[in-house]
Structure 1
């Protein structure tokens, strides 16, 4: 049965489905430990712990679902306990995991993250070097029906294939341009039409940090942006510059803030929002996330983001 809503005159009409965002990239089982301070050596006792399925693109997909959008993840996992937990966690958030590739005999990526009292973190991931990198199984034709495609840098072959297919289909192709091999980062950035960088990612693409200089080297990119943590976000969209200061919040855990930002931004683009509005929506979602311990588990709902934005506007 189709979803329905009641119009002002009392008639029943079909409700539009939320836009669908296809995410491609990392799948990790994260263990997050909170400590008073990260020591240079020795032992320290944690006072909180969370274990959950994550990964850059996966956390973004879960954030999209929390925000009321529809999201799927294309990723590779092993046929191990960690992979089973990751898959159950993402499905539990409402993310479509039906096209995830399970590779027999291989290990799912894992990551241990230590978060201190100021919200900063130390991340130690492990990716199975024998996990197949072949993207030929990806159902790329299905991207034509997506509202946006979001990729990270952790599976370059899959990301490149998805970005190319999205652009060929006229679907917004968004790159989470974080720390990666510089050659990989440059190759993926040249394939995307939205390149949203972390500060380390921007430094690898353009050491000067000048978005205008990067725009000259990436003429196919419609939008270039860099997230600045507490200082907000800067961008160039269709050669017009914009800046948004950070929301005044107290950071508890910055883990996954970038993933939440990218997921919220991709959803806003899929909804047809203008770039300044999409940046503000994404920044608000990330600001709420950093006030909560637990990585992507702190991702907000749509109502929470709207409440922050309404209060900010007021």
Structure 2
């Protein structure tokens, strides 16, 4: 059996509403559809890894409340190893309310109890004998920093999902990663550059690691260090219903490609296709595609 990829960070209860349009102001808005699911950046990435044929483990924090038990149960049911999920006494499990409009754009309002984000007392074993890679998000910075540093020391990929976060969080995590994949919004926050193509150049100047910027329907910009050139992978054309969790699916697929030893251009195309396909399905994490579905789409 292939070694697992350890995903570190968010595990939340997401209530997702499909609405005709995002609210222009105060009022009452009737959704067209709704789901309530266990999700979160790292948890969705772990789900994507499993659906794409890999093995994943999750290191996250929940409370000892009923919500926490439900979150662990739902992600474990996807085939993710949740043995390392920390249950914190007197903490409220994380949750979020999300509105998604007909074009797939969304508003996300998350809540994280500060107790969930405290320094972990213990860590999963991170070694080349136990893990194929580590993938972290920015939602539990102290655990993410520990995991990235341990992965670097172990000589395995240390992948950072560089999303929008406090500057001190990004300053802590960016230098520790072997592979930085930033959203276009986060890349602008980090570099001051609005254009993804320029932002990836600035990232490559600053960090001695693989760098890429995801830009939604515009695809992915990345630095091909082997050949010393900047490259662009266009996104497949899809009918967008829900962009929620597309980035998380990308990061899971990207980490899996690294673990499987794919060439980098294949990894980027594989992850870009998986993320685009997720956008065709309402329900955030529920839209993560299977390996067979992605491979068929890549052949078209």
Segments of structure 1 that go 5 or more residues without pairing to the other structure are 1-16
In the TM superposition, what is the alpha-carbon distance from 1:19 to its structure 2 partner? 4.2
Q: 1:39 aligns with which of 23, 33, 40?
A: 23
1:230 to 201, 210, 217: 217
> Aligned partners of 1:141 and 1:162: how far apart in 2?
7
SS at match of 2:230: strand
Given candidates 128, 131, 151, the residue that maps to 1:166 is 151
Q: CA RMSD in A?
A: 1.2
Q: Which moved more, 1:105-114 or 1:35-44?
A: 35-44
Distance 1:141 1:282, change over 3 A: closer
Separation in structure 2 between the aligned mates of residue 213 and residue 38 of structure 1, nearest angstrom: 33
**Matching of residue 26 in structure 1 with residue 10 in structure 2:** yes
Q: 1:144 deviation in Å?
A: 4.5
Partner Cα distance (2:28, 2:127) in 1: 49
1:131 is paired with a residue of what secondary structure?
A: helix
Q: Does 1:56 align with 2:45?
A: no
Q: Quick check: 1:295 aligned with 2:284?
A: yes
Query: Given the alignment, which residue of 164, 176, 197 partners 2:161?
Result: 176
**C-alpha distance in 2 between matches for 1:142 and 1:96:** 17
Point out 4+ residue stretches in structure 1 off by more than 3 angstroms: 140-144
Q: Distance in 2 between matches of 1:175 and 1:204?
A: 15
- On the 8 A contact 1:103/1:132 being kept in 2, the answer is no
| Residues 57-136 of structure 1: pairs in structure 2 closer than 5 A | 57-136=42-121
By how many angstroms is 1:148 displaced? 1.1
TM-score (norm 1): 0.91
Listed one character per residue, the Cα deviations across residues 124-143 of structure 1 (whole Å, up to 9, x for unaligned) are 10111233511231123456
SS of the residue 1:91 aligns to: helix
Segments of 5+ residues of structure 2 without an aligned counterpart are: none
- Residues of 2 paired with 1:117 and 1:81: CA distance? 33
Q: 180-189 or 302-311: which moved more?
A: 180-189
Helix, strand or coil: the match of 1:145? coil
